[in-house]
Chain A
Amino acid sequence: MTRDSLITSENDVDIGLEFEGLEDEVDTFQEEHERERHRGKRRDGERAKKKKRGNGERRKRASNAGQEEEKLQARREKKGRRKRSSSDQQAEGREGDEAEQPTTKSSKAAKTRKNVKNEKTRKVEKEEKEDEADDEERNAKRKKKHGSNNKEENVEDGNKHTVKEKAGEVKKKKHKKVVETSSEKETSEEEDSEEEDSEEKEVRPETLTPEELETLKEAVDERKKLIQGLRGKPWAMKKKLVTLRESQEFVEKYEGALGKGKGRKLYAYKVMMTKKWMKFKRDFENFKTACIPWEMKIKEIESHFGSSVASYFIFLRWMYGINMILFCLTFGLVMVPEALMGRPYGTIPRKTVPRAEAPSAMDFAVLWDFGGYAQYSVLFYGYYNNQRAIGWLKFRMPLSYFLVGVGTVAYSYMVVIRTMARNANESGVGDDNSFNFSWKMFTSWDYLIGNPETADNKFASITTIFKEAILEEQESRKDDNIHLTRFLRVLANFLVLCCLAGSGYLIYFVVRRSQKFALDGLENHTWWERNEVNMVMSLLGMFCPMLFDVISALENYHPRVALQWQLGRIFALFLGNLYTFIIALMDEINLKREEEKIVKFNITTWEASLYNISASENSTAPPVTIQPADVPRGPCWETMVGQEFVRLMISDTMTTYITLLIGDFLRAVLVRFLNYCWCWDLEAGFPSYSEFDVSGNVLGLIFNQGMIWMGAFYAPCLPALNLLRLHVSMYLQCWAVMCCNVPQERVFKASGSNNFYMAMLLVILFLSTLPAIYTIVTIPPSFDCGPFSGKKHMFDVIQETLESDFPAWISKVFSSASNPGLVLPFILLMVLAIYYLQSTSKSYKEANVDLKKKLQTQNEENKKKNKLAALKAQMDLEEARKATSPSAEHQKNNNASPDQEDEEEDRGRGQRMYHSQNGRSPPPPRHDGYLPATRAPVPRNYHHGNQGSAGYLPGFPRESEARMHRVSSLQRH
């Protein structure tokens, strides 16, 4: 992506220069003259360089171009000299302008006819030349022929066809004309034309003979090619820059000059439009970037803290996107319809606060716990009515509720799996550890860093990486006291397990206690006791990772491995906590269901008594109207589950923010300002500033999402709350990172861990949908609350809809499709398909590996061949030298050189052995002092140059691609 932008910008500059060049050409003659002189000088220099380059075909062409340039140059100089003399006759020249044009044409025609060899093509071209717009066309054609991909070509390509047709039409007439005018003499026209040229730049191409034009165009194309291929050249940067500038000047000068009259204007117009189009495209790109939410913020953070921290924020943004969709689903299809079209608050018991709770229903403490009015609102499951269709739209509320619940989960699965697959594709290419040091050498730097401090850290971390890698290599050979290490590792894991078990037990204990409190009635207990579960869970989630971190110091793992272990342990901890919570919740659900049974019984008796009373009173008057608030009701375990999850999420959010404020902000403030009056250096020493904990934050995010997935079915408000949380934490964390964190000491690239996070997300998704699905499928819904009340199972709503809303045959189809006889073969088929796909993908992978190997060996062979060829050429040359100049000194020199060469080769081989897996040759050693004595290294250079431009080496391009992909994969979220 960066490369793209670079290219466009370069092209842009290119065209800009060309455009300027066009304008320049209207300048005064003096300037032109001077410039030409300069250029002549430079061109000489360049020619010398080109000779040095010694590059097969390219070289030939270059020399060709050089010759032709020489010619041109000569002409120019002549022109220049003549110019002064002719300046007196300018007026005459101008007068003769129109008259002379035909003559020049004719002269050229005569010349062409002399050229018998490729008469036809010449003719065609000449005729085209007489067309006014032909110039660009030919350029385009030529470019296409040479396979150059200049951007303008695309623009011009469109015009090309039309122009060509025109040219075809005019062809015959012109031909005749040529034949007619061809008989004229060709004595003085060259001088005339040159005068013309010096006076009127636009007509200048007329003065050139077609051959010269040809060569000129070839030269221009040559230059263009050179500009394009410059990037891959194995030259010094300075030389590259000089060559680029020269070539661009050349191109801009002659390309514009090849047009004439109207065509030139058209050309200029086109160039201008191309330029504007480019600018527009670039602006549009910028606009697009500005449209991506938080892009600039993330970029800024990336430049300060490296890509690993930025990857967290990209992940956060991706999460935000997913939650946005979940929110839209639940909000648009469940909450809003119920709020707008459902029965209003207070009409039925489930939509009314019970009488006992009514006085405190609006208290903040109650609302903060999502009781009171919050509990009896669209935010929770219990509020929804089991009415089949609501409102004038006949909105199927229960069905919608069920489908949205299923849909959110299905959507999440789809997105996560798709992202994982995409990431796997990209990261699956460059995997192997065999090029350990080369990878570190060439890919360690994070090019997005824009902050000196981070760059320092990165530098230090690369150094340590190298140190560690070397140590690792050494350690892999010797094993010092492996038993002690093993023992320590086992001990560490044991300690961690103890810690996990302890935290699990603590949570279980707390949850059971809270149930006891709940039975006693929450009002009798303090705030601490009421919020014990959430507090304990948050605290454990916060402190246990620290302990793990300390314990993991025992293990003496490589930092990367240690990080993975750490992540795994935190994952286990969070998961354990969550599942303990769920198990406790299940207990509570069972309790509630028991309670429900009693309530149900009570209600029947209550209703009976009510009925009895009304019957005994024997009044024909209206049946007793009972306030919905007074109706006794069941405990509604679904709402309870929803509430628990919402509370958990809120407390989790609070903990995160408070940790952020205390752990990061307050600490930073203290460190910063206490440092003026403290006995040791707080900034460099013990408390220091905090680092951004990527793994912990990512895990927190993942588990938070898990809670959302688990609880969203019972509390439709959960995605909305989560959206809010993510939004706030985006800004808060961005601010906190920029204001009170320091870049990590171990700046590492995030690319590798990306899919790891996604995998964890998938696991969490699975594990969090498991209990939700279990409750939905097995536990019957409460009898008096929620959209599924009165049904035996929640999924009965589907059956109901099928039966009543669809024609009979569909339900028949469904019932027959759910027949095990059909389902089992289908599942079998699916398993088979999966197996087949997996095996094919495996075989593809193997094929890939084979191909890689093949490429490597081929590359090796090529190198050998090239080397042999070079050696042979060198030997030949030396022999020739010996034959020509048999002086003692030379001989000595020659005798010495093969030895040197051999040595060199040996060294090269050694290096290759060393880097052998890398698949790229070490740059051939240069012997600058040795170069003039014998011309031996020339073929060597040629070989190297070829390597650079062709890029057939598997090692390097692959590597760079992998990097690019990785970066893009980060941005994909």
Chain B
Amino acid sequence: MVSPAIALAFIPLLLTVLIRCRFYFVLFYRAVLVRIWRDCVTGLSREERAYQYVLTHATPGDPDSILEAFDVWCSKVEFISTIGPKKGKVLDRMLMEQSPLTVLELGSHCGYTTVRIARSLPLGARLYSVEMDQRNAAIAEKIIRLAGFDDDTVELIVNPSDEVIPRLRSEYGLERLDFVFMDHWKKCYLPDLQMLEGTGLLGKGSMIVADNVLFPGAPKFLRYIRKCGLYEWKVHRATLEYSRGIRDGMAELVFQGIK
């Protein structure tokens, strides 16, 4: 039997681990425990709750107020993985610099990022947003319409990304993508990127932005872009949305083509 004194000697380790990983524990609590509890209590899905909050707290037709309501809900009430205000600003800046005409968003979830992108697009630009989940897509549709973006600006495609991408050229008549934003399943980053390369929609100067490359993390994706040499890339280091202590990054890739 292990003596109690030896067990006591492990207390500092326990404390250290607790303090070190406090952000992860908080995240776990907010993103998992609270969600399960609320799901049981309200009988609604998380996205629906968020939509209710936004509907009651934001001004319809004003994207800024909708985004703000979202931020408040995500930081104060519950946790939803969107891009968040800080990384969102980086994204806004990139969009301003690039001013793309054709934008593809993979994984719109409940529309936060879609609104964010759509709001900083130039006139006449078109955003294709791909969402796999039916219910989420419904919410996203509502939110987008609430923010005042019509079908000409934002087109929501409800399908898995790996089915949509090969058909982009044929069905949606796209010639070139200026800007791609990835925020869906982290494991799909790499296959989708390769698929995009395969379709030839990426031209020289097309920008691809991938969120959450460090914290849930897409190591294969990073390894690939490091090696393949097709891109000029950098990782914007930041923290995870609505959380201070967890490091995360957003990868910015500029397609250079084969030299």
Contact = CB atoms under 8 A, between A and B. Distances in A.
Contact of A536 (B9, B214, B222): B9
Interface stretch (B11-19, B95-103, B114-122): B11-19
Contacts of A366: none
Contact of B9 (A499, A506, A681): A506
Interface string A537-556: 00110011011011000000
Contacts of B12: 499, 503, 540, 543-544, 546-547
A685 B222 CA distance: 12
Contacts of A681: 213-214, 217-219, 222
Pick the most buried of B1, B9, B217: most chain A CB atoms within 10 A of its CB.
B9
A529 B218 contact: no
B250 to A, nearest CB: 13
Nearest to A546: B16
Given A675-B219, A684-B222, A528 B16 contact: no
A539 B8 CA distance: 10
A544 B13 CA distance: 7
A569 to B, nearest CB: 12
A674 to B, nearest CB: 11
* Overall SS of chain A's interface: helix
A510 interface: yes
A382 B223 CA distance: 63
Interface in A840-859: none
B215 interface: yes
Given A532-B6, A681-B214, A543 B219 contact: no
Interface string A496-516: 000100110010011001000
Interface string A677-718: 011111111100000000000000000000000000000000
A510 B186 CA distance: 50
Contacts of B16: 543, 546-547, 549-550
B2 interface: yes
B172 interface: no
A772 interface: no
Pick the most buried of A509, A535, A550, A681: most chain B CB atoms within 10 A of its CB.
A681
A543 B19 contact: no
A452 B12 CA distance: 37
Interface string B1-44: 11101101111110110011000100000000000000000000
Interface in A522-536: 526, 528-529, 532, 535-536
Which 5 A-B pairs rank lowest in CB-CB distance, beginning with the nearest?
Answer: A681-B217, A680-B217, A539-B9, A543-B12, A681-B219
10 contacts: A535-B9, A543-B13, A547-B12, A550-B19, A679-B186, A680-B215, A681-B217, A684-B214, A685-B214, A685-B217
B216 interface: yes
Nearest to A542: B13
Nearest to A514: B5
A954 B216 CA distance: 54
A543 B215 CA distance: 27
Interface in B148-204: 186
Contact of B215 (A503, A540, A549, A685): A685
Given A543-B10, A550-B16, A536 B5 contact: yes
Interface residues of A, number: 31
Contacts of A678: 219
Contacts of A532: 3, 5-6
Contacts of A503: 12
B236 interface: no
A680 B8 contact: no
A651 to B, nearest CB: 12
Contacts of B24: 686
Interface string A363-405: 0000000000000000000000000000000000000000000
Contacts of A686: 24
B10 A528 contact: no
A686 B222 CA distance: 16
Contacts of A683: 219
Contacts of B215: 680, 685
B6 A536 contact: yes
Contact of A529 (B3, B186, B213): B3
Contacts of B222: 681, 684
Contacts of B86: none
* Overall SS of chain B's interface: helix
B89 interface: no
Contacts of A550: 15-16, 19-20
B234 interface: no
B219 A528 contact: no
A525 to B, nearest CB: 9
Interface string A145-179: 00000000000000000000000000000000000
Contacts of A509: 5
Interface in B68-92: none
Interface in B216-238: 216-219, 222
Contact of B13 (A502, A546, A684): A546
A539 B11 CA distance: 10
B1 A540 contact: no
Nearest to A502: B11
Contacts of B93: none
A509 B9 CA distance: 12
B3 A684 contact: no
Nearest to A683: B219
Nearest to A682: B219
A550 B222 CA distance: 30
Nearest to B249: A684
Contact of A679 (B13, B214, B217): B217
Given A679-B186, A684-B222, A685-B214, A528 B9 contact: no
Contacts of A502: 11
Nearest to B15: A547
Nearest to A526: B1
Contact of B2 (A528, A540, A675): A528
Nearest to B17: A546
Contacts of B1: 526, 528
Contacts of B20: 550
Contacts of B3: 528-529, 532
B214 A540 contact: no
B62 to A, nearest CB: 35
Nearest to A681: B217
A717 B20 CA distance: 42
Nearest to A537: B9
Contacts of B13: 539, 543, 546-547
Contacts of B213: 681
A684 B222 CA distance: 10
Contacts of B217: 679-681, 684-685
Nearest to B22: A550
Interface in A653-686: 675, 678-686
Contacts of A549: 16
A378 to B, nearest CB: 34
A686 B2 CA distance: 31
A529 B218 CA distance: 47
A529 B4 CA distance: 10
B214 A528 contact: no
Contacts of A526: 1
A804 B8 CA distance: 57
A506 B7 CA distance: 11
Given A528-B2, A543-B13, A506 B219 contact: no
A675 B223 CA distance: 12
A534 to B, nearest CB: 10
A546 B17 CA distance: 9
Given A685-B217, A685-B247, A540 B9 contact: yes
Nearest to B216: A680
Contacts of B9: 506, 535-536, 539-540, 543
A499 to B, nearest CB: 7
Contacts of B247: 685
Contacts of A547: 12-13, 15-16, 19
A751 to B, nearest CB: 30
A456 to B, nearest CB: 13
